[in-house]
Amino acid sequence: MNSQFVSPDHIRSQFSRAMSDMYRTEVPLYGDLLDLVADVNAETLAAQPALSAQLTRTGEIERLDIERHGAIRLGTAQELSDMRRVFAVMGMEAVGYYDLSTAGVPVHSTAFRAVHEASLQVSPFRVFTSLLRLELIEDPDVRAKAADVLAARKIFTPRALALAAQYEARSGLTEQEAQAFVQEVLHTFRWHSEAAVSLDEYNALLEQHRLVADVVAFKGPHINHLTPRTLDIDAAQKAMGARGMASKAVIEGPPTRKCPILLRQTSFKALEEPVSFIDAEGQVAVGSHTARFGEIEQRGVALTPEGRALYDTLLAEARAAGGAYETNLSQCFERFPDDYATLRDQNLAFFRYFATDKAEQGQFADDARLATGQSDADVRTALASLIEQGFVNVEPLVYEDFLPVSAAGIFQSNLGDDAKVEYTADASQAAFEQALGASVHDELTLYASAQARSVQACVAYLRGEVSAQAEATV
């Protein structure tokens, strides 16, 4: 990279901070949520020194206070394609495909984020990005009107797209250009209190689905939530109630565990915000819209394909059983191992490997079990022996993505109880990728690669092939 250019990680970090500041101004309750999470995290770290040590070893302690994810909802293939280009400037790529139509939400989605662990340590900012499926709007007149409104709007400023094109042409932006880019792109995510449709048109969209109205009726895709990461979501849920926040009754995701897995989420209910609706004659009608809310997440270890299969099986059993869902969930997940050693031994979760202070560089240079050419499984078996002897430490690899059922649950709870709709459309990853203009990454492949890099770096240190056990850069 040209020495005059700043890194995409730096631009992403700038944008994340600017987005958080903007949203805190627009939604003051979000600021209260940040304060709450900071208090819970501080109390959790003080009460659990082992967890504090773990996060320090992995470097997650530095990213904890800045970790955020946001969510936006787009209306057209062009908007999604342009969003991909804009996020690429920030080092964010599309990871995973999520079909939410099966849960009654007429969108399919991906998550834009950094894909390498070194970049994630700099800024773990991610954006869950959904594309409206116009074909799921049943009323042909409403569907046609929605298409016309969306085709007419421009969600990015000309300067934002020009800077994205400049980045593509030169593979970088200067610090001054990066600062301008951040400010231009922020306009896309701002709240617009003036709608792009009349009140009657808004109500027609609302009748189809609240999310359809949220996507179509406004001049831009306004960020609808930013989510800080907590270390104890159960404590955060209780604290929300104690501070007068109307939180969800149920935490989305797996049950409470000693060793958290995947993702758990909760939120306070969406705000009712005033909106001006203007008809074709220029007449203004004042109404309101409900969409933006506050959310908290707790992230656990990423699961392997075997782990995800077990998770999906147990979740399906809990959902199919009669009676109280939370009770069913806890009972079913008793069959999911709840200690990291077993998760590793049964290949249910991904981990990162580190040489400990006890291990000296090159100490195992002659260990044939760690020689180049051994299979990954054989090397991990050899490392297991070194873990027992205290030469190697292993830490959970944090889950960086989302869960379709949880995402749909959060959407539904903040769209209103009457929003449940049954769609029969099939998932269409090919159509989504065509609109995106690129393929989405398979998240499981990314986790496997991250684990393999940590193993390679650890082994290289133990064999004396590197001067320090630094993160791999490939």
Pairing of strands 93-99, 107-113: antiparallel
Partnered with residue 6 across adjacent β-strands are 173
Amino acid at 436: L
The pLDDT value recorded for residue 193 is: 87
Q: Is 167 helix (H, G, I), strand (E, B) or coil?
A: helix
C-alpha pair distances (Å), 140 with each of 127, 132, 135: 31, 15, 9
Q: How far apart are the first and last CA of the chain?
A: 15
Amino acid at 257: R
Question: What would the two tokens of residue 27 be?
Answer: 């939604």
Asked if residue 265 is part of any domain, the answer here is no
Query: CA-CA distance, 173 to 167, in Å (whole number)?
Result: 6
Domain holding 109: CATH number?
3.10.180.80
Partnered with residue 110 across adjacent β-strands are 129
Asked if residue 237 is part of any domain, the answer here is yes
Domain that holds residue 9: 5-249+430-436
**What is the CB neighbour count within 10 angstroms for residue 1?**
10
Asked if residue 367 is part of any domain, the answer here is no
Q: Which residues contact 410 (CB under 8 A, 6 or more apart)?
A: 248, 252, 265, 267, 295
Asked if residue 44 is part of any domain, the answer here is yes
Q: What are phi and psi of 137, to 5 degrees?
A: -80, 115
Q: Is 49 helix (H, G, I), strand (E, B) or coil?
A: helix
DSSP output for 142-155: HHHHHHHHHHH---
Amino acid at 13: S
Token pair 């969406």 in the structure block, residue: 270
The pLDDT value recorded for residue 337 is: 97
Radius of gyration of the chain (CA): 23
Asked if residue 73 is part of any domain, the answer here is yes
Give me the number of domains the chain comprises.
Answer: 1
**Short-list 89, 123, 81, 128, CA closest to 105:** 128
Partnered with residue 239 across adjacent β-strands are none
- b/e per residue, 29-64, with b = 16+ CB within 10 A? bbebbbebbeebbeebbeeeeeeeebbeebbbbebb
Q: How many CA atoms lie within 13 A of 469 on its CB side?
A: 25
Query: CA-CA distance, 336 to 348, in Å (whole number)?
Result: 9
Please list the ranges in the chain whose pLDDT falls under 70.
Answer: 1, 270, 404-427, 467-474
**Short-list 11, 19, 3, 1, CA closest to 177:** 11
Asked if residue 150 is part of any domain, the answer here is yes
Checking 277-285 for CB contacts under 8 A at 24+ apart, the result is 277/195, 277/197, 277/198, 277/199, 277/201, 277/202, 278/194, 278/195, 278/198, 279/198, 279/199, 279/200, 280/198, 285/198, 285/199
Angle between helices 28-47 and 49-58 (to 10 degrees): 110
**What is the CB neighbour count within 10 angstroms for residue 319?**
12
Asked if residue 225 is part of any domain, the answer here is yes
Query: CA-CA distance, 389 to 4, in Å (whole number)?
Result: 47
Asked if residue 330 is part of any domain, the answer here is no
Query: CA-CA distance, 64 to 428, in Å (whole number)?
Result: 35
The pLDDT value recorded for residue 444 is: 96
Q: How many CA atoms lie within 13 A of 85 on its CB side?
A: 20
Q: Which residues contact 108 (CB under 8 A, 6 or more apart)?
A: 97, 98, 99, 100, 101, 130, 131, 133, 427, 428, 429, 432
The pLDDT value recorded for residue 254 is: 93
